[in-house]
Amino acid sequence: MNGGQAIVQALLDEGVETVFGYPGGAVLPLYDVLYDSELKHILVRHEQCAAHAADGYARASGKVGVCMATSGPGATNLVTGIATAYMDSSPIIAIAGQVATQLIGNDAFQEVDMLGITMPITKHSFRPNNPNDIPRIIKSSFKIARTGRPGPVVIDLPKDIQEAELDEYINRPFKLPGYKPTLKGHPLQIKRAVNAIINAKKPVILAGGGVIISGASKELRKLAKIIRAPVTTTLLGKGSFPEDHPYSLGMLGMHGRKVANLTVNECDCLIAIGCRFSDRTTGNIAEFAPNAKIIHIDIDPAEIGKNIEVDIPIVGDAKKVLQDILKILEKKDINSEKKEWIEKTIKFRNKCMPRMSFDKEIPLKPQQAIKEIMETIDDDTIVTTDVGQNQMWMAHFYTSKKPRKFISSGGLGTMGFGFPAAMGAKMALPEEDVVAVCGDGGFLMVSQDLATLREYDIPITICIMDNRRLGMVAQWQRLFYDERMSHTHLGEVPDFVKLAEAYNIDAEKVEKPGEVKEALKNAIKSGGPTIIDIVIDPMEILPMVPPGRGLTEIVGEYKVETKTIKKEKVEGE
Amino acid sequence: MELKTHIISTIVQHKPGVLQRVSGLFTRRGFNIESITVGESETPGLARMTIIAKGDDKLLEQLTKQLNKLIDVIKVRDLEPTNIVQRELCLIKVHAPEERARSEIIQYANIFRGRIIDVSTETLTVEITGDTNKIDAFIELMTGFGIKELARTGPTAMSRGPKTI
């Protein structure tokens, strides 16, 4: 068995079925093995899409996504995708070819120091210098990528090591004495947290991506119900708590919902679970949750106290910690003051629900487009977004009800993420419908991969929120740069329908209310890849908190739903 | 917050790239390293790194947590500054063409428990170990003669008494 065969075997041993990649000289021995392997390889048209697809695969399924590329430029094209996965704690393994061992350091053809380049954006990285280590490296990589706080692992693979023969295929992970994630929360801290929760009059839960990663949604719902706390989420926490639940406040932060921002500002106890208090979530940290005792549950000790001073830190896996908290809480009598708090919050929430119905307006409002998307797809549909206004509109208006169904690039804010991530998600869960909501700018960064979509007939629907703008940047220019619209107008090219036609993909342009619904219904029914070019109002903006300001200082007009909302019952009575 | 000098002792895997991971972490997070020394430890395959960094308590906490996250880092401990032994090695090549300067330098070296480890017609090279203050003081003395070259290792340290990290 040679190194390449060992890699494929080790990947199969880990249960990998699909890899995304792009071949080249330094990775040829591995690709030669793939030729007659049962491993399914999706040939993308740009390596960045391989990394994003692996990421989408990982986020949708909870499994590890795998991507591969050749050395040098192939490897560096993976970098954006690796950094994206790192910022959002997504478990991917990136296998990059490397020049032969004896050439390393000689500036050989297509040589780049991939380990050095990716060190700050990986959880760990490996370069085997002995083919016998390959199975153990793959095994260790999977362990590191998916356990604790998940993250990307890079394997830099010299060509000669891929070709060299193994003495023996030993598939046991390396001993990793420096790697012991803390899963169980400290009992004393848990007790302190419970006391703080019981004594709070106005508790709020802030749920982050960690809730989804650890599968703690059930525990989260239980906690909210017992202590009658409204739940707000970060962008990555979207879907951890059903957003049609009366306790749900939607997303918090710079582009979050007014009700979430104001409620957090008022709360006296903030229970933050699996989130890292990004500046986009907190606004000015000096003004963040000024009256609250803050409980922070996170598996990564380095996240605790990094951005926000915490009163009660608990290091551990969200699910396990919440179970322990619930065990104590269930025996306690929770005071009735919290009932008033939740009733007041729900009332306030209903009063400032953002308006979504613009049934007659042309150009089409993005809110209306999202409303029609929501009315067409079911709760199990996986939705990915790109980055920019399209993303924030979705975060704001799209009601996500289940975990792992809303996939978006949070930390790095990577334009071009939505479409390849949707491909990856569909490969992971072929039974589910997958819809990518993109902006025209982000989509054009990766549109070459329409070829991949057609080639493998991956039936996803791409909704392009088309305003011929770099919408979010333009929004900032409008709000903070005196309307000096420097280089944010993208012009009228291309014609997305014709572009799709070039790739033999069905496409439709929609411009009026009602048309999105119809087009999306047909797209899903067609069972093939489809593009819907949704022409939206380029002037529409979402109210936001200016950078560096407190969460209460929202600017921009906030259109509120005026239709009467039926009275919702407070749960737990 | 008050800036303090911290002496962080770490046990890491003795492998290529580990020093880069550690120092890269400092760069990425914007922490400044005053010095870093590394060498094999008592356990084969493991190395001990002594990192000197200046910062407030919050920075230090973040630093040790980030260090702990590195998979090649096995142990991290901020050493109690009042209860450590700490040494640094320094080699100083001093300009000394005349007999008078030579004898003075040799005398100073003796007082500082240094050793002359190389002699030429124009220079003397002194080896001196000690804590940072002692070495600073010796360097100051030598400045008057003319220092041709100087190499310092940066401090390495461990806890006093039976305690290990």
User: Which phi and psi angles does B24 have, rounded to 5°?
Assistant: -60, -35
> Model confidence over B67-90: pLDDT tens digits?
999 999 999 999 988 899 999 999
Report pLDDT for A573: 43
> Model confidence over A87-96: pLDDT tens digits?
999 999 999 9
Least confident of A474-483, B23-32, B109-118: B23-32
The answer to whether the Cβ–Cβ distance between B62 and A120 falls below 8 Å is no
Sequence-distant (6+) residues with CB within 8 A of B70 are: A178, B12, B21, B22, B25
- Told to judge if A163 belongs to the known catalytic residues of this protein, a careful annotator would answer no
Residues of A in contact with B17 (CB under 8 A): 115, 119
Q: Using CA atoms, how far apart are residues A95 and A111, in angstroms rounded to an integer?
A: 15
- Told to judge if A472 belongs to the known catalytic residues of this protein, a careful annotator would answer yes
Nearest CB to A306: which of B20, B24, B62? B62
Residues of A in contact with B73 (CB under 8 A): 178
pLDDT band at B29 (very low <50, low <70, confident <90, very high): confident
Report, as an integer, the average pLDDT of A102-125: 96
Least confident of A130-139, A331-340, A406-415, B48-57: A331-340
Report pLDDT for A35: 97
Contact at 8 Å (CB) between A102 and A160? yes
pLDDT band at A569 (very low <50, low <70, confident <90, very high): low
Q: Using CA atoms, how far apart are residues A96 and B129, in angstroms rounded to an integer?
A: 46
Half-sphere exposure of A303 (CA within 13 A, CB side): 22
Instruction: Find the angle CA(B22)-CA(B27)-CA(B28) to the nearest 5 degrees.
Output: 95
Return residues 64-103 of B near A (CB < 8 Å): 65-66, 68-74
> Model confidence over A172-218: pLDDT tens digits?
889 999 999 999 999 999 999 999 999 999 999 999 999 999 999 99
Report, as an integer, the average pLDDT of B29-39: 88
E strand or H helix at B40, and its extent? strand B33-40
In angstroms, the separation between the Cα of residue A104 and the nearest Cα of chain B is 14
E strand or H helix at A434, and its extent? strand A434-439
Q: Using CA atoms, how far apart are residues B127 and B115, in angstroms rounded to an integer?
A: 5
* Cα distances (angstroms) measured from residue B48 to each of B9, B64, B80, B86: 7, 15, 17, 14
How much of chain A exceeds pLDDT 90, in percent?
A: 94
**A175 in B contact zone (CB under 8 Å):** no
Contact at 8 Å (CB) between B52 and B63? no
pLDDT band at A568 (very low <50, low <70, confident <90, very high): low
User: Which phi and psi angles does A513 have, rounded to 5°?
Assistant: -55, 140
Report pLDDT for A6: 98
The answer to whether the Cβ–Cβ distance between B61 and A301 falls below 8 Å is no
pTM of the predicted model over 0.90: yes
Local structure of residue B149 (DSSP, 8 states): E
pLDDT band at A16 (very low <50, low <70, confident <90, very high): very high
Sort strands B4-13 and A18-21 into parallel, antiparallel or unpaired.
unpaired
Q: CA gyration radius for chain B?
A: 19
Which residue of chain B comes nearest to A178, CA vs CA? B74
Least confident of A361-365, B29-33, B147-151: B29-33
The answer to whether the Cβ–Cβ distance between B71 and A120 falls below 8 Å is no
Sort strands B4-13 and B73-79 into parallel, antiparallel or unpaired.
antiparallel
The answer to whether the Cβ–Cβ distance between A302 and B69 falls below 8 Å is yes
**A300 in B contact zone (CB under 8 Å):** yes
> Model confidence over A240-258: pLDDT tens digits?
999 999 999 999 999 999 9
Tell me the β-bridge partners of A438.
Answer: A464
**B59 in A contact zone (CB under 8 Å):** no
Nearest CB to A302: which of B13, B62, B74? B62
Return residues 379-438 of A near B (CB < 8 Å): none
Report pLDDT for A332: 86
In angstroms, the separation between the Cα of residue B70 and the nearest Cα of chain A is 7
**A306 in B contact zone (CB under 8 Å):** yes
Which residue of chain B comes nearest to A306, CA vs CA? B62
How much of chain B exceeds pLDDT 70, in percent?
A: 99
Tell me the β-bridge partners of A93.
Answer: A66, A153
Report pLDDT for A563: 66
**A179 in B contact zone (CB under 8 Å):** yes
Residues of A in contact with B70 (CB under 8 A): 178
Contact at 8 Å (CB) between A511 and A538? no
- Told to judge if A165 belongs to the known catalytic residues of this protein, a careful annotator would answer no
Which residue of chain A comes nearest to B45, CA vs CA? A177
Q: Using CA atoms, how far apart are residues A227 and A217, in angstroms rounded to an integer?
A: 16
Nearest CB to A301: which of B12, B17, B65? B65
The complex's ipTM works out to: 0.90
E strand or H helix at A272, and its extent? strand A269-273
The answer to whether the Cβ–Cβ distance between A176 and B61 falls below 8 Å is no
Q: Which of A334-338, A463-467, B131-135 has the highest mean pLDDT?
A: A463-467
> Model confidence over A508-558: pLDDT tens digits?
999 999 999 999 999 999 999 999 999 999 999 999 999 999 999 999 888
Return residues 223-242 of A near B (CB < 8 Å): none
The answer to whether the Cβ–Cβ distance between B71 and A144 falls below 8 Å is yes
How much of chain A exceeds pLDDT 70, in percent?
A: 98
* pLDDT of A452 strictly over 70: yes
User: Which phi and psi angles does A510 have, rounded to 5°?
Assistant: -125, 145
CA A127 to chain centre: 28
In angstroms, the separation between the Cα of residue A124 and the nearest Cα of chain B is 7
Report pLDDT for B81: 86
Report, as an integer, the average pLDDT of A14-19: 98
Residues of A in contact with B61 (CB under 8 A): 305
Instruction: Find the angle CA(B57)-CA(B60)-CA(B64) to the nearest 5 degrees.
Output: 140
Which position among A47, A219, A243, A266 bears the catalytic label?
A47
Nearest CB to A178: which of B13, B20, B62? B13
Report pLDDT for A461: 98
Least confident of A143-157, A255-269, B27-41: B27-41
Nearest CB to B74: which of A177, A301, A306? A177
- Considering only CA atoms, which of A458, B114, A150 is closest in space to residue A142? A150
Which position among A472, A508, A517, A544 bears the catalytic label?
A472
In angstroms, the separation between the Cα of residue B151 and the nearest Cα of chain A is 28
Report, as an integer, the average pLDDT of A271-277: 98
* Tokens describing residue B107: 């005398």
* pLDDT of B107 strictly over 60: yes
pLDDT band at A314 (very low <50, low <70, confident <90, very high): very high
